[in-house]
Structure 1
Amino acid sequence: MGWIWALLGIPVVTGLIAWRIKNLNVCERFQVIGALLMLLVGLALAFHVLTGSPITGAGGFIYVDSLSAFNLSLIVLVGFAASLYSVGYMRHELNEGVIVERQFRRYYLWFHLFLATMLAVSVVDNLGLLWVGIELTTLVSALLVAFYRKGTALEAAWKYLIMGSVGIAFALLGIIFIYLSGIDVFGDDLRALNWTALNQVADRLNSEWILIAFIFVLVGFGTKAGLAPMHFWLPDAHSQAPSPVSAVLSGVLLNTALYGILRVFIIANTALHGQAADLLILFGLLSIAMTVPFVLVQHDLKRMLAYSSVEHMGIITLGVGMGGAIGLYGALLHMFNHAMAKSLLFFTAGNINQKYHSKNIGRISGIVKALPVTGTVFLIAAFAITGAPPFNVFISEFTIMKAGFKEGHIGITVSFLLLIVMIFAGMIYYTIKMSFGEPPAKLKKKEIDRWSTAALFLPLTVVIVFGVYVPPFVSDAIHQVSQVLQGVH
């Protein structure tokens, strides 16, 4: 239990102390040390769970199994990379007069509190507390979306709060219906909303209430996860937030909301004898399909990456819905691969935005010449996120397609393949257009801050290595998590 309290406390303490440090150099280095400590503790906790058994405590309110450990690992990995990237990014914003010192320190407060809320979601057993945690992620991340306090940023944050709150309200109704489904089983037992207790008796729950509950949870948490057609907040929020925040929003916040769906899905799929999977397939394929027109006619770099996140949340959901050992493995591997590749893309987009002072695709050209390192990494990340071999996303997408054919979802799998080919064509067209040619004459051909460049190499290494080799310990961990999704006690 001590590891869990340490993991939750580190980002809170880091954010509060960084906020009060007057020396800005000390502030930014302190928050990197805090993020590194969070990374080490998080990975140690995940290793302990994956090589041992689930952790329970706090009177049944805390529960960390392999699914929790998997999500914790994603949060601390992307969180540390974004913390490192934030040093150069926020220093540039301060030097350019985009923000003032007070905003600089406040950024690190909200950034680390944001990480803490996502970590909290991943360690609670009670579904009511899980709902509270996801609501907290909305409130804290909205402050980061509105960070620049411009009209467009404030509008995006307001839209995010409204849609997020509506979604969360639907999810709350779903959790109430889960409670109703178990009244005959639990009576007045305080464990009636504990996931572990519900999972043990899933086949005895009222199937009609469970079906209604899962639909509400899927729509509610699906709004936060960026699933279509509830995804319209996402492009605005991602495009207006600081780029390191966009990386965390896309790389792990969406996964954390999806984590909430998966927790309920495990119960619902048992209670409904597999019918819950059909709903995931429907929402997954719809999310991929709705991405296509927005990517093909896009003019804003960060909005294009945001719509790509809608696509990939759909792919993960589709993979889980297709099921089977292969489908679940592919979906979980895709959660990891997307988190790494998309955070890398948002880091490069941040460098490009700061160099060109624009997110407009039509005004960006010659990135490879103007920013040799960033431009090259941007090309690699763009090909990776669109599923081109030999990069990591190709492996997980191919695994999901293989599962689709094996499980008999021929038409769905063919549709999936056609849709991602169209998205590939659109994104690569814009990527090539921005990457090559001549940069604007007045643009200095020099890399952004070394911190912003160095931070690219952590996710870049994963994007390249996992395209040709998935380490056995990672593969074994994903197989463990897939067993949890199959309802294996």
Structure 2
Amino acid sequence: MFSSIESVLVVSLLLTPVISGLLVTLLKRKRIIEVTTVVSSFLILIQGLFLLSSILEKKSISLFDGIFYLDSLSAIMIITISLVGFLSSLYSVNYMGIQYDKLIVDRQKLVRYYQGFNMFLFTMLLVPISNNLGIMWIAIEATTLVSVLLIMLYTKQGSIEASWKYLLISTVGLSLALFGIILFYYANSVYDNSFNSIHGMDWTNMVENALQFDPNLVKFAFIFILVGFGTKAGLAPMHTWLPDAHSEAPSPISALLSGVLLNCAFYGLLRFHIISSHSIGSGFSNTLLIILGIISLGIAAASIYFQKDVKRMLAFSSVEHMGIISVSMGFGVFLGIYGALLHVINHAVVKSLLFFSSGSISQKYQTKSITDTSGIIKTMPITGFMFLIGGLAIIGMPPFNIFMSEFLMLSSGFSSENFLASALVILFLVIIFASFGKHLLHMVFGNPKSEMEKGDFGKLSILPMVILGSVIFIMGIYVPEPLQTLIEDASKIILVGGANS
């Protein structure tokens, strides 16, 4: 049935979280469902690494008559999803275990959490391997439906309101994206009487035929795509669902939402950016990406300055970083695209560390208030140190990984002569640096409450933080050669439209 090892790996990659979710549903015992999910997510990581190896060798892989297509851009997403997914499953054991012991969640909610966790991984993994853009849209929409159930896990008023807001805004946004996909499909079909409707929605087919598309139709369609997928990616001003959803979700899910889900939506946007660039040149979509990116940075800067809730602060930080990725992609030069793709990975790692550490901190302090959380380094030495590393990294301090990718992105702005946009980016980053840094120093080095008991939580909450902290430091100094090659290849895929315009 399967003609290659890659076929087996892709099918296994998708079936692993589905089987794990079914086992969770059937077994229902706390320890068993925890182990099942951790083992499953570890297998996903291993399979992702094997696929990475194949893609590095073959550059692109088409499977099952073109239904699935993987290239370097897909591989970046798969590795990010699988790494953050595995570490989130490890962290969940301790985080959700504490909530179970404190009767915050019962066994039914714990089972629902692990069911949702596994299905969330499945839906996100389906996004980067889908060649058919309709299937990719279905997968992104499915991530919304699954994550809504995880956000409202606690069934409190705040979580239910956040879930409905997220569902409504994201669904409206993705409906607009669907309309854009239909317009691209129409553009692909209208010029050729021998059009193959079966593969007409395949990304590879659209890229091949893009030069024949009606330019005005492409511009119209891309606006719908940008607003639609931009809503799900957290780009302002369509970002309003994001702070509420991230704030109310369990911390491991917040890490997946911020570190991975936003990237999945931006990945969908990039695929259409490539088609548009192939068809009409990159100038139109680049300009729109720069504008929305700068708006996102400006709103994030103002929001972080006035923020009082730590998880909402981290959520607005995600708006900031999706904004700078968008701007850098819009600069349209190799250095900026390379830096943006590196930043996709860097942001996922750093933001996961921050949500993990802030989750443990909020469990210890029984609050998400920035004002009421102080002296973490004294009460929770390891967690406080990890939170400090994550905080310094997220605001771009050397020698951590985000400094490297932000430096590349800002350099590309000046090399591409986008001086005004680059100046605005620097201005907003300085404001964010000062605002986030102020909150960070208060939380880490302030005076803790005298009655606060000292000590970190269990090893399974510390271990993923230490792994992430190590990755942050290592990638701030050196990007492994296979990853460099992968990002270079993905950057060339994105640039090919502009090169042919």
TM over 0.5: yes
Q: Indicate if the aligned counterparts of 1:267 and 1:487 stay in contact, CA closer than 8 A.
A: no
What are the residue-to-residue correspondences of 1:266-277 with 2, within 5 Å?
Answer: 266-274=274-282, 275-277=284-286
- Structure 1 stretch 440-449 or stretch 328-337: which is displaced more? 440-449
In 2, the alpha carbon distance for the partners of 1:16 and 1:449 equals: 28
1:453 aligned residue: 462
Corresponding position of 1:142: 148
Partner of 2:97: 91
d(CA) in 2 for partners of 1:292 and 1:193?
A: 39
Deviations 1:371-409 (A, max 9, x none): 000001101100100111111001000000111111111
Corresponding position of 1:168: 174
Residue 247 of structure 2 corresponds to residue 235 of structure 1: no
Write the letter of the residue equivalent to 2:78. Answer: L
Match of 2:491 in 1: 482
Task: Tell me, in whole angstroms, the C-alpha distance in 2 between the residues paired with 1:232 and 1:268.
Answer: 27
Q: 1:116 aligns with which of 110, 119, 122?
A: 122
SS in 1 for 2:479: coil
The DSSP-based 3-state class of the residue aligned with 2:131 is coil
* SS of residue paired to 1:193: coil
CA distance in 2, matches of 1:73, 1:462: 14
Query: CA offset at residue 418 of structure 1?
Result: 1.1
- The one-letter amino acid of 1:46's match is L
The 3-state SS of whatever aligns with 2:65 is: helix
Alignment correspondent of 2:295? 286
Kindly indicate whether the alpha-carbon contact (under 8 Å) linking 1:20 and 1:105 is maintained by their aligned counterparts in 2: no
Kindly indicate whether the alpha-carbon contact (under 8 Å) linking 1:251 and 1:339 is maintained by their aligned counterparts in 2. Answer: yes
SS class of match (1:448) = coil
For residues 268 and 13 of structure 1, the distance between their equivalents in structure 2, rounded to whole angstroms, comes to 38
Two-structure CA RMSD over aligned residues (Å): 1.2
1:186 CA displacement: 4.1
- Range 233-242 or range 287-296, more displaced: 287-296
Report how many aligned residue pairs link the two structures.
489
Matches within 5 A, 1:47-66: 47-66=53-72
Is the Cα–Cα contact under 8 Å of residues 181 and 207 in structure 1 kept in the other structure? no
Contact 2:145/2:167 (CA < 8 Å) preserved in 1?
Answer: yes
CA contact (8 A) 1:199 1:487 kept: no
Determine the C-alpha separation between the residues in 1 that align with 2:469 and 2:234. Answer: 24
Q: 1:130 to 1:22 in 2, by over 3 A?
A: closer
More moved, 66-75 vs 257-266: 66-75
Contact 1:374 1:453 in 2 (8 A): yes
The corresponding residue for 1:222 is 230
2:48 maps to which residue? 42
Letter in 2 for 1:276: S
- Which residue does 1:4 correspond to in 2? 10
Partner secondary structure for residue 200 of structure 2: helix
CA distance in 1, matches of 2:11, 2:170: 28
Name the SS for the 1:59 alignment partner.
coil
Deviates more, 1:473-482 or 1:301-310: 473-482
1:332 is matched with: 341
Given that 1:117 and 1:133 are in contact with CA atoms closer than 8 Å, whether structure 2 keeps it comes out as yes
* Structure 2 residue runs without a partner (length 5+): 1-6
Q: Offset of 1:21 from its aligned partner? A: 2.1
Distance in 1, Cα, partners of 2:202 & 2:28: 44
Say whether the 8 Å CA contact 2:375–2:447 is kept in structure 1.
yes
Question: Does the alignment pair 1:178 with 2:174?
Answer: no
Letter matched to residue 316 of structure 1: I
Q: Distance in 2 between matches of 1:170 and 1:22?
A: 39
1:24 maps to 2:22: no
2:344 counterpart of 1:344: no
1:462 and 1:202 map into 2 onto residues whose CA distance is 39
Identity value in percent: 43
Which residue number in structure 1 is paired with residue 308 of structure 2? 299
Deviation at 1:229, TM superposition (A): 0.3
Distance in 2 (CA, whole Å) between partners of 1:457 and 1:417 is 30
Contact 1:180 1:209 in 2 (8 A): no
Match of 1:401 among 393, 396, 410: 410
Instruction: Tell me which of 256, 261, 269 is aligned to 1:253.
Output: 261
Matched with 2:450 is 441
TM-score normalized by the length of structure 2: 0.96
Say whether 1:365 aligns with 2:374: yes
Contact 1:157 1:237 (C-alpha < 8 Å) held by counterparts = yes
Partner of 1:15: 21
Indicate if the aligned counterparts of 2:13 and 2:48 stay in contact, CA closer than 8 A.
yes
1:189 equivalent in structure 2: 196
| Deviation, structure 1 residue 181 | 1.4
Q: Residue 58 of structure 2: SS of its match in structure 1?
A: coil
**C-alpha offsets along residues 291-310 of structure 1, whole Å, 9 cap, x if unaligned?**
11110010000000000000
Whether the 8 Å contact between 2:289 and 2:327 is mirrored in structure 1 is yes
**Alignment equivalent of 2:419, drawn from 410, 414, 433:** 410
Counterpart amino acid of residue 227 in structure 1: L
C-alpha deviation, 1:259, in angstroms:
0.3
Q: TM-score when scaled to structure 1?
A: 0.98
Structure 1 counterpart SS, 2:59:
coil
Residue range with higher mean Cα deviation, 461-470 or 338-347: 461-470
Distance in 2 between residues matched to 1:409 and 1:134, nearest whole Å: 32
Q: Contact 1:182–1:206 (CA<8 Å) still a contact in 2?
A: no
Distance 1:458 1:124 in 2: 30
Letter in 2 for 1:150: K
Give the partner amino acid of 1:402: S
Say if 2:56 and 2:482, in contact at 8 Å, map to a contact too: no
Higher mean Cα deviation, 25-34 or 319-328? 25-34
Mapped pair 1:317 → 2:326: yes
Counterpart Cα distance in 2 of 1:405 and 1:338: 22
Specify the alignment match of 1:67 in structure 2: 73
CA distance in 2, matches of 1:62, 1:471: 27
SS of structure 2 residue aligned to 1:122: helix
Letter in 1 for 2:146: V
Provide the rounded CA distance (Å) in 1 between the counterparts of 2:446 and 2:496.
53
CA distance in 2, matches of 1:26, 1:107: 14
**How far apart are the structure 1 equivalents of 2:97 and 2:306?**
33
Instruction: State the alpha-carbon separation in 1 of the partners of residues 159 and 177 from structure 2.
Output: 26
Query: Cα distance, 1:69 vs. partner?
Result: 1.1
